[in-house]
Chain A
Amino acid sequence: MDFSYNDEQQMLRDSVSKFVHQDYDFDSRRKIVDSETGYSKEHWALFAELGWLMVPFSEDDGGLGGSAVDLMLVMEEFGKGMVVEPFLNTAVIGGGLIADAGSDVQKQDLLPSVMEGQLQLAFAFTEAQSRYNLADVDTRAELQGEHYVINGKKAVVLNGESADKLIVSVRTAGAQRDRDGISLLLLDADTAGISRQAYATIDGQRAAEVSFDNVKVSAEQLLGAAGQALPSIEKIIDRATLAVCAEAVGSMEVVYKKTVEYTQTRKQFGVSLASFQALQHRMVDMFIEYEQARSILMMAAMQLDAGEGLAPKAISAAKSRVGKAARKVGQEAVQLHGGIGVTDELDIGHYFKRLTSVQYLYGSTDFHTQRFASL
């Protein structure tokens, strides 16, 4: 048993941490969030240059090994600065699906440009009615000769605005919630018949509603076997779930520390807020939540790397517990900051917002608690 990072991991962590500290203070982030693209292309180029975009990929695919622990430590550091660059959507999810389901040709064709920062991806999988059920796919693709024709609508497609290519889950056979009959198609985001309604999200990211109106795509653009995509989708969404758990743990660390610091400096009734025992205990509770979240995150990352089939259950355990912690720590941080905590001006409220959306992303706390029980 050894819970320490190896030298490479320590170096990776230091490099991401240094970036967040030096280049990603709250004001710089705000400028990026408010910019036209919603992320910094300079930062993205830097991520590629420093090899971070290679982290999610195996050495066979030209990556750094693709370990869950590596992914965890990158995302944790990103969470400390609420980094909005689409690392998760492009590299972890989009690139992950290509690596997992794609043919050798597709991998050779696309993965190098993902890792070099030349290609932005988005995974269009949620639908208005689907909530967290990955098998609930009503967007249909019909095979007509050598082509699929796609019709339907995808909801809240993260990074959908900036994506050069979309990976879309479609139903090629079966009924709306059948596990079989789901396929993945890869297509240029500007293919005729695709319309994107872009918007900002509550946590400083970007997303789009994506409609497919008789969109024609070559059958060669299938990722993996027709009708058999669900296991790949589940595997990659599990990985993304671990990533947001790690991000939340990073955010929580900052948030509980900032709350302790604030209550030590803020004076009311002639003393610091931190001198009230009623408030001290609440900060202790925030700290315990953070530590429990970190523990279960590490458990899940190690299970994912062990790859012994326990991973989905471990991921759901992590998402459930981290979600519970994210809720508590976020709400308490705002409450203990008082009025300034509910303003747009201070970073605390922005951490709270991201800690809120993380609770629902890739399945709510309740969803993962129930999934844990069912597995």
Chain B
Amino acid sequence: MNIDFSAEELAFQDEVRQFLSTKLPADISEGTLKGLHLGKEAHVRWQQILHAQGWAGVNWPVEHGGTGWTPTQKYIWSTECANAGAPDVVPFGLKMVAPVIYSYGNEEQKKRFLPDILASNVWWCQGYSEPNAGSDLASLRTTAVRDGDDYLVNGTKTWTTLGQYADWIFCLVRTGDSNTKNQEAITFLLIDMNDPAITVSPIYMLDGLREVNEIHFDNVRVPAANRIGEEGKGWTYAKVLLTHERTGIARVAASKQKLAALKVLAQSTSNGGEALLDNPAFAQKLAEVEIELLALEYTDLRALSAVSTGKAPGPESSILKITGTEVGQAIDEMYVEVAGYYSMPFVKEQFMVGFEGDPVGPEEAANSAPHYFNNRKASIYGGSNEIQKNIISKAVLGL
């Protein structure tokens, strides 16, 4: 049992550091490290730089333009990205729909969609949740009725992150008749958003920003050629995809970077004349989060090690979602604590990249509370932490 990197892995780490120090634009890394909001342009710009380097498809198979990295290389990559302030890629195209297309799509679909996803030429969004289908996703009601060579799609999708920018949406829709069992009635469709029968309405989050949307489909005509795989198999495809997503879900690298920055901040924050970091109550809380994160890091590495010896991530990886989001949220909350009174000003412009006005309070404080509020979503989305516990209790403990 050891944790050392091999010589090849260390060489890879150097290569990654070299790339990030020369190619990551300063405005993007600065904004990311300060927890500011990057716009669409910055995300696309960074993803196109990754593409030029051949590193956009981290999890993709080599034949479709992926990196072919080992799990250890992916771990090094995510650690170095977090430290350098490289933003996460917007996942909907590169990490969510692409694996479904290259795993279950036909050759024509692969040729048609994958290159533009890899090059970030097309912005994708996800159409899973519905107003009445949240944790119980399989109860979704958006229908797709076959009409000649097309489907007619009707219904409403919600929590569609950054859907306002999207060119395409991948959806789970209901097909079959009323006798079809829930999970056998779900079909995976790719839908072009450039259609007047689709309307996108904003949902504002607790930080006052438009991050998610509701998307209405009113008799939207979708060619059957846009269906992935077989009718009624969408649920299976989506579930396989969710397992893919487990890698990186603990967000250990990002949390480590944020915790390190938090310490620096608490060291320079005065608390009655001494550093806040030296306050026993604060120090204790910080240490508890740090210890939890250390344990999580090794839980994550154990999962990684299992994957690298050929095992698929199992249901116990729900631990990574639960603990990862809880640790992340605990760190967010400590940023509010450090900001103190300066957590109160709500100056929206100040937490967007490119703010040039007269700032209120320290830069790091500006987005502390809005981000804390916003990131309460992390324990709700992607299968709420309660659902994750149900998974562990059923699939691991056999209860």
Contacts and interface: CB of A to CB of B under 8 A. Distances in A.
Interface in A269-283: 269-270, 276, 278-279
Query: In this complex, which of A133, A203, A342, A349 has the most chain B Cβ atoms within 10 angstroms of its Cβ?
Result: A342
Nearest to A271: B136
B205 A155 contact: no
Contact of B129 (A209, A339, A343, A369): A339
Interface of B: 129, 132, 134-136, 139, 158-159, 203-206, 208, 269-273, 276, 279, 281-282, 285, 336-337, 340-347, 358, 360-362, 369-370, 372-374, 376-377, 379-381, 384-386, 389
A370 B340 CA distance: 16
A291 interface: no
A278 to B, nearest CB: 7
A341 interface: yes
A322 to B, nearest CB: 17
A119 B195 CA distance: 56
B344 A341 contact: no
Contacts of A279: 386
Given A156-B344, A201-B345, A364 B337 contact: yes
A366 interface: yes
Q: What's the dominant secondary structure at chain A's contact region?
A: mixed
Nearest to B337: A364
B376 A342 contact: yes
A268 interface: yes
9 contacts: A128-B362, A156-B361, A177-B272, A203-B344, A207-B345, A269-B135, A339-B380, A343-B203, A366-B285
Interface of A: 126, 128-129, 131-133, 136, 155-156, 177, 197, 199-203, 207, 209, 267-270, 276, 278-279, 331, 334-335, 338-339, 341-345, 349, 352-353, 356-357, 360, 364, 366, 369-370
Nearest to A209: B360
B386 A202 contact: no
Nearest to B345: A199
Nearest to B329: A331
Contact of B340 (A342, A353, A360): A360
Given A339-B158, A360-B337, A200 B374 contact: no
A179 B125 CA distance: 58
Nearest to A357: B344
A356 B206 CA distance: 12
B345 A278 contact: no
Given A155-B341, A269-B135, A342-B373, 13 more contacts: A128-B361, A156-B341, A177-B272, A199-B360, A202-B345, A207-B344, A279-B386, A338-B134, A339-B381, A360-B336, A360-B341, A366-B281, A366-B282
A133 B345 CA distance: 20
A80 to B, nearest CB: 20
Contacts of B276: 131
Given A343-B205, A353-B206, A156 B336 contact: no
A356 B272 contact: no
A331 B207 CA distance: 15
B304 to A, nearest CB: 29
Contacts of A278: 386, 389
B273 A136 contact: yes
Given A202-B369, A335-B380, A343-B205, A360 B361 contact: no
Nearest to B272: A133
Nearest to B132: A267
A335 B206 CA distance: 13
B233 to A, nearest CB: 22
A256 B361 CA distance: 34
B54 to A, nearest CB: 37
A328 to B, nearest CB: 12
Given A155-B342, A177-B272, A331 B389 contact: no
Contact of B205 (A207, A344, A366): A344
A369 B376 contact: no
B359 to A, nearest CB: 10
